[in-house]
C-alpha cells in the first residue's frame, strides 16, 4: 500500500534557535491534499548511566511547557549540525550530573513525537561511569541529580513520578535486564 505523502508547498511559520516550524500542504496517496504542521529539530541524545552501586543516574528539572518538574535521564539536543549523538550523550551526562563515562553504547533510536516533529532521539548506555565531572549545566538549566535503584525506579514509574518518554524507555531497558 502506498502511504507516501508528497510536499506540494511549504510556508515557514517560525524560525528559532533550535527548531523551525513549517505549515506544509501535501498530496496524499488517495489524491486528496492535506495541511501538515511540521517542527524540524536537530535531534537529541539521552544516556542511561548506572552507578557501581546499581543506581540509575537521573536529573530532576523544571519543564516549563508541562508546568512541573520531571525526573529524566540526562539528555540534550545535538548542538552542532552533524554532531555525533554519542558525543552529545557523554557531554550531557557530564554537564548535568557529577558523572562521566568512559564510553557509551547505542541502545535505541526513536522519534519523540512523529505526528508533528522530526526529532530523533538517540538512547545510549554509559559504560564505566565515575563521579568526576568538571563540567557544569547550561546557565538556564537548574538540575537536581537523583540516584535510584531498581526498586525505587519501579515504584516511581508505578506512581507516575516518571512521565518522560525517553526516560521510561531507558529505564524499562534497565529493569528488563537480568539482575
Residues 29-80: tens digit of each pLDDT:
999 999 999 999 999 999 999 999 999 999 999 999 999 999 999 999 998 7
73-111 pLDDT, tens digit each: 999 999 877 899 999 999 999 999 999 999 999 999 999
List pLDDT tens digits, range 101-122: 999 999 999 999 999 999 999 9
Mind telling me the catalytic residues?
A: 141
The values of phi and psi at residue 150, to 5°, are: -60, -40
| pLDDT (mean) for 161-169 | 98
- The pLDDT value recorded for residue 63 is 97
Residue 80: predicted pLDDT: 76
Residue 137: pLDDT band (50, 70, 90) is confident
Q: What is the pTM of this model?
A: 0.94
For the stretch 33-40, contacts whose Cβ atoms lie closer than 8 Å and that sit 24 or more positions apart, written own/partner, are 33/8, 34/5, 36/5, 36/116, 37/13, 37/116, 38/116, 38/117, 38/118, 39/113, 39/116, 39/117, 39/118, 39/119, 40/117, 40/118
Does the pLDDT value for residue 179 go beyond 60? Answer: no
Average pLDDT of the chain is: 96
Amino acid at each position: 500500500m502506498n502511504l507516501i505523502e508528497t510536499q506540494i508547498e511549504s510556508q515557514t511559520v517560525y524560525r528559532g534557535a533550535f527548531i523551525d516550524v513549517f505549515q506544509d500542504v501535501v498530496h496524499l496517496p488517495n489524491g486528496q491534499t492535506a495541511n501538515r504542521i511540521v517542527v524540524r529539530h536537530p535531534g537529541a541524545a539521552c544516556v542511561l548511566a548506572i552507578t557501581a552501586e546499581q543506581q540509575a543516574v537521573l536529573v530532576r528539572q523544571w519543564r516549563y511547557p508541562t508546568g512541573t518538574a520531571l525526573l529524566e535521564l540526562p539528555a540534550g539536543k545535538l548542538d552542532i549540525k552533524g554532531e555525533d549523538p554519542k558525543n552529545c550523550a557523554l557531554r550531557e551526562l557530564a554537564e548535568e550530573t557529577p558523572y562521566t563515562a568512559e564510553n557509551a553504547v547505542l541502545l535505541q533510536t526513536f522519534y519523540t513525537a512523529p505526528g508533528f516533529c522530526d526529532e530523533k532521539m538517540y538512547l545510549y548506555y554509559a559504560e564505566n561511569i565515575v563521579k568526576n565531572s568538571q563540567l557544569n549545566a547550561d546557565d538556564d538549566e537548574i538540575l537536581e541529580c537523583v540516584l535510584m535503584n531498581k526498586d525505587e525506579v519501579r515504584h516511581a514509574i508505578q506512581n507516575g513520578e516518571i512521565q518522560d518518554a525517553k526516560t521510561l524507555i531507558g529505564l524499562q531497558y534497565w529493569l528488563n535486564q537480568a539482575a
